[in-house]
Amino acid sequence: MSASALRLAPLLLALLLSPLARAGKTLDAVKARKEVICGVSTGLAGFSASDSKGNWLGLDVDICKAIAAAVVGDRGRVRWTPLNAQQRFASLQSGEIDLLSRNTSWTLTRDASLGLHFTGIVFYDGQGFMVAKKSKISAARQLANAEVCVQSGTTTEKNLSDYSRAQNLKMKPVVFESFEASLKAFFSGRCPAYTTDATSLAAILQKEARNPGDYTILPELISKEPLGPVVRRGDDEWFAVVKWVVYALIEAEELGITQANADAQRASANPAVLRLLGVSEDLGKSLQLDRDWAYRAIKAVGNYGEIYERNLGSGSTLKLPRGANRLWSKGGLIYAPPLR
């Protein structure tokens, strides 16, 4: 009997090794831990994917790195936690992660009833369809009676259902609880169509399809999918920090501050630049950060435009045009409230 009792020791060790997270004063916990625990996807090119050496790359990843740089001072102090679509909200709610930066769409239900807060929009996306070219489908209207592979736990299911009813297409969803299983089914030919956010479709086409030329993405966008980082409710300080780091990156692009010229810009003549970089005013005090928070964030990952180009645009294999993700001044939707 004592032997069996001793066997509990390994369990206790396992418990000790698991991350004990704090839900509540997240900012204090992050500062004390000197590390940000960031929830990302299990592998979506362009947003959050790890290479064979375990380095994480992507838009969502860069946002986390910027927050780490701003709060802790080092963009490398991030613990990456890959999550699938079902676990992501539970992980955030339970305190296992500090923030969720995982191409998550901002919807009313999620904002209001899951105990979470969306901090802002880093990418304006929409849902689309991908089909094999040999099926000769060129528009979503032609998908009548089709079986469509989707992943469960996402807004995709509901949008598909709404669109199917609105257009009277009687589409039949084939639902998988894992991203990998849904891809496997589509590429094996189980469904003629696959649906998810259009940018994810582009990433899938590039990285997951054996022969990208065999598939095409249909032009219709059937929903609005504004993606952004998510934090827990009831933690206003952390909410403010995450929100304003993102806005600082956007404002940096507007003001022309880049990763390369951030140091030189500290001597700029533009008072807005001096304010953002913490030279003339200490904006960080009200956020409970030090004055160089925005400077460090920009130095770590660059401004919003650089982040975009590196991960999704001309500097990546996806080569997606910015489209709605241009700055408001250039005709897009990316807008930051003034940092003053």
Partner 1 sequence: MSSAAKRRRRALIYQLLTVAVLAAALTVLVRNTAQNLRLRGIPSGFDFLFQGAGFDIGDSLIAVAAGAPYWQALLVGLVNTLRVALPAIVLTTLLGTALGLGRLSRNFLLRSFCGAYVEAFRNIPLLLQLLAWYFVLTDLLPPMEDAWRAGEAIFLSKSGLAFPVPVVQGGKWMLDLPRREGLGISGGGTLTPEFLAVLLGLVFYSAAYFAETVRAGFNAVPLAQKQAAATLGLTRSQALVSVTLPQALRLIMPPATNQYLSLIKNSSLAIAVGYPDLVSVANTTLNQTGRAVECVSLIMLVYLCLSLATSLLMHWFERRMAWR
Partner 2 sequence: MAIARKTVVAGPTSLAWWRENLFPDRGNSLLTLLIVAALVWGLSRIFDWALISAQFRPDAEACRALAHAGACWGVIAEKHVQILFGRYPYEEMWRPLTATLLLLALLALTFLRPRGRLAAAWVLAAAVVLTLMGGGLFGLSQVGPERWGGLPLTLLLSLGGMAGALPLGVLLALGRRSELPAVRAVASIYIELVRGVPLVSLLFLASFLLPLFLPQGMGLGVLARVLIGLILFAAAYLAEVVRGGLQAVSETQRLAAAALGLGYWQTQRWVILPQALHLALPALMNSFIATIKETSVVTVVSLYELTGALSLALSGDADWRPFFLEGYLFIAAIYWLICFSLSRASLRFETRAIPLAR
What is the contact surface with partner 1 in residues (CB under 8 A)?
23, 85-86, 89-90, 93, 109, 112-116, 135, 137, 142-147, 152-153, 157-158, 160-161, 164-165, 172-177, 181-182, 184-185, 188-190, 192-193, 232-234
Residue 33 or 110 having the CB closest to partner 1: 110
Neighbours of 96 (CB within 10 A): 18
Min. distance of Cβ 84 from partner 2 in angstroms? Answer: 5
Q: % helix / strand / coil in the chain, to the nearest 5? A: 45, 15, 40
Residue 159 host element (H or E): helix 155-166
Cβ at position 208, least distance to partner 1 in Å: 16
Task: Specify the residue, 22 or 158, whose C-beta has the smaller distance to partner 2.
Answer: 22
Q: How far is the CB of 157 from partner 1 (least distance, A)?
A: 4
Among partner 1, partner 2, none, partner that 291 touches (CB below 5 to 8 angstroms by kind): none
The entry of partner 2, partner 1, none near residue 41 (CB within 5 to 8 angstroms by kind) is none
In the bound state with partner 2, the residue whose beta carbon lies nearer, of 73 and 82, is 82
**Residue 274 near residue 47 (C-beta atoms within 8 A):** no
92, 232 contact by CB (below 8 A): yes
Chain residues binding partner 2 by CB under 8 A are 1, 3-11, 13-15, 17-24, 42-43, 52-54, 79, 81-84, 86-87, 90, 93-96, 177-178, 180-181, 183-184, 187-188, 207-210
Rounded to the nearest whole angstrom, what is the least distance from the CB of residue 49 to partner 2 in the complex? 9
Dist. CA 286–CA 283, nearest whole Å: 6
Name the residue type at position 275. R
Residues 167, 120: contact at Cβ < 8 Å? no
Residue 180 touches which of partner 2, partner 1, none (CB < 5 to 8 A by kind)?
Answer: partner 2
Rounded to the nearest whole angstrom, what is the least distance from the CB of residue 232 to partner 1 in the complex? 7
Burial (Cβ within 10 Å: 0-12, 13-18, ≥19) of residue 143: buried
Report the nearest approach of partner 1 to the CB of residue 1 (Å): 20
Selection from partner 1, partner 2, none that 234 binds (CB < 5 to 8 A by kind) is partner 1
The CB-of-93 to partner 2 minimum distance in angstroms stands at: 7
Quote the CA–CA distance of 231 and 87 in Å, as a whole number.
Answer: 15
Q: Which is nearer to partner 1, 158 or 285 (CB)?
A: 158
Q: Which is closer to partner 1, CB of 77 or CB of 184?
A: 184
Pick the closer one to partner 1 by CB: 86 or 259.
86
Helix/strand/coil for 230: strand
Nearer to partner 1, 143 or 276 (CB): 143
Q: Which one, of 68, 149, 55, lies nearest residue 101 by Cα?
A: 68
Nearer to partner 2, 92 or 171 (CB): 92
User: From CA 245, how far away is CA 240, in angstroms rounded?
Assistant: 9
Q: How far is CA 244 from its chain centroid?
A: 16
Sheet holding 127-132, edge to edge: 172-176, 147-151, 193-197, 127-132, 215-217
